């Protein structure tokens, strides 16, 4: 019998961010409509969540819908929102029971009522949990995130609530959707694409990037652990000389 691979994560890893890509192509390769790839995608999230728990990773971000994804056909957008709502309904009890906090990053005002309400309900129900954070990036754009923070800070300055010289990086970060979360340590994009697609631009400043050819519906524990191993072998120098 093949020996089960054991992996011990010794490098500090607080926040892993996923770009769950390749779902449409996964479906196409099987002769299925694209939206069945999106349905299958939602079934992978909990296995990845459990693997994060296993390795004591405090925070995970999932890119569910970008500000650019409005450019897709309306029926694909509708399916994506259906599957997201189903996911919230199915998993919220369990997530709450293990102390997970659901954070939503992105402009939910533009979402249809049922999706927005599912987000708000999940957030409200879990907001006092602190064991682990699941950050769902929904109608999220990194540039939008930064512009909104600028606007909020400009407003504070205009009202005399902040001294311009007091605006530093931590202060700015607290005005982003991801306020309160650590910076991204590891950014994983599935499906072979090697770009950020407007994902967590500020938060990824010093992240390690791992690009895997595996499409998200095939991205299971083993594929994730391969990424963790790659991360562990990286030298994080933060501009200095020491390897962390």
**Residue 124 binds which entry of Mg ion, ligand IPE, none, CB below 5-8 Å type-dependent:** none
Query: 21 or 145, CB closer to Mg ion?
Result: 21
Single residue of 123, 197, 202, 226 touching ligand IPE by CB under 6 A: 197
Hey, CA dihedral for 240, 193, 196, 179, is it positive or negative?
A: negative
Token reading at 74:
């309306």
Binding residues with ligand IPE: total (CB under 6 A) = 17
The answer to the question of residue 24 lying near ligand IPE (CB under 6 A) is yes
To Mg ion, the closest distance from the beta carbon of 21 in angstroms equals 4
Single residue of 191, 203, 204, 212 touching ligand IPE by CB under 6 A: 191
Burial tier of 205 (Cβ tally within 10 Å: 0-12, 13-18, 19+): exposed
From residue 2 to residue 21, the character string flagging contacts with Mg ion as x (rule: CB under 5 A) and all else as - is: -------------------x
From residue 71 to residue 90, the character string flagging contacts with ligand IPE as x (rule: CB under 6 A) and all else as - is: ---------x----------
For 8, half-sphere exposure in the C-beta direction (CA atoms, 13 angstrom radius) is 1
Tell me the C-alpha distance between 188 and 60, whole Å: 11
Residues in a beta bridge with 209: 187
Active site residue 69: yes
Query: 65 or 231, CB closer to ligand IPE?
Result: 65
Helical H segments across 66-141, by residue range:
74-97, 113-126
Active site residue 198: no
Write out the H or E segment, with its range, that includes residue 211: strand 208-211
Residue ranges binding ligand IPE (CB under 6 A): 19-25, 63-66, 69, 80, 191, 193, 195, 197
């Amino acid at each position: 019998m093949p020996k089960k691979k054991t992996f011990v994560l010794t490098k500090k890893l607080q926040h892993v961010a996923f770009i769950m890509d390749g779902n449409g192509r996964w479906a196409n390769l099987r002769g299925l409509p694209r939206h069945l790839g999106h349905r299958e995608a939602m079934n992978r999230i909990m296995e990845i969540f459990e693997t994060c728990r296993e390795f004591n990773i405090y925070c995970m971000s999932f890119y569910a819908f970008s500000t650019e994804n409005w450019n897709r056909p309306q029926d694909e957008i509708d399916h994506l929102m259906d599957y997201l709502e189903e996911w919230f309904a199915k998993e919220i009890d369990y997530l709450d029971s293990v102390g997970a906090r659901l954070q939503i990053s992105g402009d939910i005002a533009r979402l249809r009522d049922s999706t927005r309400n599912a987000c708000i309900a999940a957030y409200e129900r879990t907001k006092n949990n602190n064991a682990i954070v699941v950050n769902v990036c929904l109608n999220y754009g990194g540039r939008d995130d930064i512009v909104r923070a600028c606007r909020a800070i400009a407003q504070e300055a205009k009202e005399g609530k902040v001294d311009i010289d007091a605006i530093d990086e931590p202060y700015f970060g607290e005005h982003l959707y991801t306020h309160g979360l650590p910076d991204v340590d590891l950014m994983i994009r599935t499906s072979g694409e090697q770009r950020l697609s407007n994902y967590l631009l500020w938060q990824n400043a010093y992240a390690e990037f791992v690009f895997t050819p595996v499409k998200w519906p095939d991205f299971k524990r083993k594929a994730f652990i391969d990424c963790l191993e790659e991360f562990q072998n990286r030298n994080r120098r933060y501009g200095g000389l020491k390897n962390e």
